[in-house]
Amino acid sequence: MCKNIIMQHNKLEFEIAVRSMVKKIWPHYELPLAKLMKNPRTGAPAILPEDWDSRAELISFALHDPQVAFVWGNDIAYSQLEIWHPYIMASKHRFTVIANNINPSMVEKQNLLLKQTQPYSLKKNFKIEYLNAAPSLKTLIYISDKNNNYNFLRKLQNKIHVCGHHGDSEKHSSFSTMPNSYDFLLLADQISMLRYIKGGLELPINKIIPIGNTVIPNVNYCEGKSLFTKAIYAPTFEGYSESVNYSSLMRASNHITNWSNSNNNSLYFRPHPGTGLREKSYITYIDKIKASITPIKVEEKSEQFNWSDFIVTDISGIISEYLFTGKPIIIPVSTDPKWLRDYIIDLSLDSYIYIWDYNQLTLSQFIESIKHDPLQNSRITRRNAIYLGIKSFEKSLELFDEAITYFEYAYQWRQLRTGKNYTQDSLSLRKYPLPNNQDLKKIVSNIKSGLFAQRKFDLS
C-alpha cells in the first residue's frame, strides 16, 4: 500500500515537472510552431493546442523533427514492430512511430525500446495534424492495411505515403488492392510483385520498390546440410475468422511434441503473439506444449534461428524470415481442411518447402524420407531471389536507406511539379535559434536528441 502511494506521489510530481518544463520553453517556440502548423494546402493559420499535455506532445515532435514515420492505423502490433525495429534503430534517418495506441510496458516487455526514436499515440494528446510541425518529415510508411490509414492520406496529401507491410508472406492479407492509394509500394522481390498482379492490382511499375525481405540482425547465412535434430515450432495465430485460419496449433502440435520427446531431439516453441485473440482455446494448446517439452534457453530470434536445424511453421512471414538461414522449412498440413492444402499447392510452396501430412506420417518418419534434403537447391535459389542476393543485415539496411532517400527525392519532385514549396516559410524547430537561458538550452538539446521517454523531459 505504501509503495503504491509513493509511486502515485512520484507520478504526480513528475507530471507537474513535465508541465513546468513545457511552460518554460513554449513561449520561445510558439510563433515558429504557428508558422509550421498552418494548413499546407490552403495556408490557413493553425489553432495551436491550449492544454499543456498536447503542447508537450507537439513541441517534442517538432524539435525532434523526424524524417520518416512508421504508421500503424490501429493499435501498434508488437510482432510487426519487432520486424522493423532493427532498421529504425540502425538507419541514418530520424524516425518516429505513430499508432492509435501504444502500450509502453509492452514495448519494454518485448525489448523493443525505441531509443532516441519517440513513439506517439493518437489516443494520448497527439493529432495527425501535428505531423505538419516537422518540415523534415517527408515519408510515411504504413505497416498494415487499415481503414484509419486514410485519415493520414487525406490530411497529409503533401507527404509521400508508402505501403510497407511487415515482411514477405503468402497470407491472403499480404496482397490487396489498397496499395493503389499509396505513392509507393515496398516489396521483397518479383514473386512478391506477382502476388499483387494475380490479385488484380494495377500499379505502375515505377511505384514498386523492391528492397529484399527484411533481415534479422546476427542470423547466420548457411548452405550446409541439416541434421534435423533441433527444431523450431512456430505456428501462426488462428486468424480473424475460421476461413483464414492457417494455424496448425490444434491440428498438428501433438505430433510435433511427440517427435521432440524421442531420440534426443530438441524443440523450441515460438507461438505467434496474437494466438488466442479470436479463440481463447488456443491458449490451452500453448500451455500444453510448454508443459510437455524441455525449455530451450535461446532468447533472441537470431539465436533461435542459428540454434535450430529446421523449422516447422505455417503460412506466415516467419517462412520468409527463416528462409534467410537456408535451412529446411516444413509446413504441417493434411487433407483436412482441404482448402488450406489446395491454397498451399496453388502457391507452389512445395517447390522449396516440405509439405508434411501429419495424418499419414509421424514427423520422425517424414524427416527420414527427406533427410537427404532434396529441396535444398531450390530453397537456396528462392532465398537468393527474395533477399536480392543480400547476405547480411547491413546490406539490407543499405537498400532500405536508399529507398528512403529515393522517397525524399520524390517529395522534392512533387514540389517542383506542383509549383508548391510546402516548407518555404517554415524553419524547423531543430534549426530555430536556441533560448538564451542555459537550463532551457539543456531541455531543448535533450528533446532534439531523443534522450527522453514519452515526453517525460527527465533532465536530472
% of the chain at pLDDT higher than 70: 89
> Sorting pLDDT into bands at 50, 70 and 90, what band is 194?
confident
Identify whether the C-beta of residue 118 lies closer than 8 Å to the C-beta of residue 104: no
> What pLDDT was estimated at residue 24?
86
User: Would you mind telling me the total number of residues written for the chain in this entry?
Assistant: 460
Cell of 184: 509507393
- CA dist., res. 406 & res. 410, Å (int): 6
Q: In 351-392, which ranges are continuous DSSP H helix?
A: 363-370, 376-386
How far is the C-alpha of 93 from the C-alpha of 95, rounded, in Å?
6
pLDDT of residue 6: 36
pLDDT at site 19: 65
Question: Which DSSP helix (H) or strand (E) runs through 82?
Answer: helix 78-90
Measured at the CA of 48, the angle between CA 47 and CA 53, to 5 degrees, comes to 145
Q: Show the domains of the chain with their CATH numbers.
A: 60-215+405-449 (3.40.50), 230-386 (3.40.50.2000)
Residue 259 · residue 363 · CB < 8 Å: yes
Question: How far from the centroid of its chain's Cα atoms is residue 266's Cα?
Answer: 30
What's the DSSP call for residue 212? -
Bigger pLDDT: 105 or 73?
Answer: 73
Closest CA to 234 of 144, 345, 324, 331: 331
Across 33-109, where does the E strand assignment appear? Answer: 68-72, 95-99
Q: Alpha-carbon distance 185 to 179, whole Å?
A: 7
Instruction: Kindly write down the DSSP assignment for every residue of 89-157, as one continuous string.
Output: HH-SS-EEEEES---HHHHHHTT---TT--EEETTTT--GGGGGG-TT--EEEESS--TTHHHHHHH-T
What is the pLDDT, as a whole number, of residue 311?
97
- Does residue 229 contact residue 222 with C-beta atoms inside 8 Å? no
Number of neighbouring beta carbons within 10 Å of residue 49? 20
Are the C-beta atoms of 363 and 256 separated by less than 8 Å? yes
Q: What cell numbers appear for 392 in the block? A: 547480411
The rounded distance, in Å, linking the Cα atoms of 266 and 298 is: 12
Q: Which of 32, 292, 303, 67 is nearest to 162 (CA)?
A: 67
Tens digits of residue pLDDT in 15-44: 444 567 788 889 999 999 999 988 777 778
Condensed to tens digits (0 to 9), the pLDDT of residues 121-141 reads 898 889 999 999 999 999 999
Among 130, 18, 25, 143, which residue's Cα sits nearest to residue 74?
143
Tens of pLDDT, residue by residue over 259-303, are 998 888 999 999 998 898 888 989 998 999 999 998 898 989 999
pLDDT attached to residue 192: 79
> What CA–CA distance (Å, rounded) separates 385 from 192?
10
Contact by Cβ (8 Å): 70, 84: yes
Q: In the prediction, which pLDDT does 242 show? A: 87
The pLDDT confidence band at residue 399, using thresholds 50, 70 and 90, is very high
| pLDDT of the residue at 10 | 41
Q: Cell digits for 122?
A: 493518437
233 and 253 Cβ atoms separated by less than 8 Å: yes
pLDDT score at 119? 85
d(CA 187, CA 179): 11
Say if residue 1's pLDDT is above 50: no
pLDDT computed for residue 3 by the predictor: 41
**Stated pTM of the model:** 0.86
Quote the crossing angle between the two packed helices 281-292 and 249-260, to the nearest 10°: 0
The whole-angstrom separation of Cα 316 and Cα 128 is: 31
233: enclosing H helix or E strand:
strand 230-234
Chain-centre distance for alpha carbon 142: 9
Decide: 162 and 186 in contact? Cβ < 8 Å.
yes
Q: Which residues pair with 243 in a beta bridge?
A: none
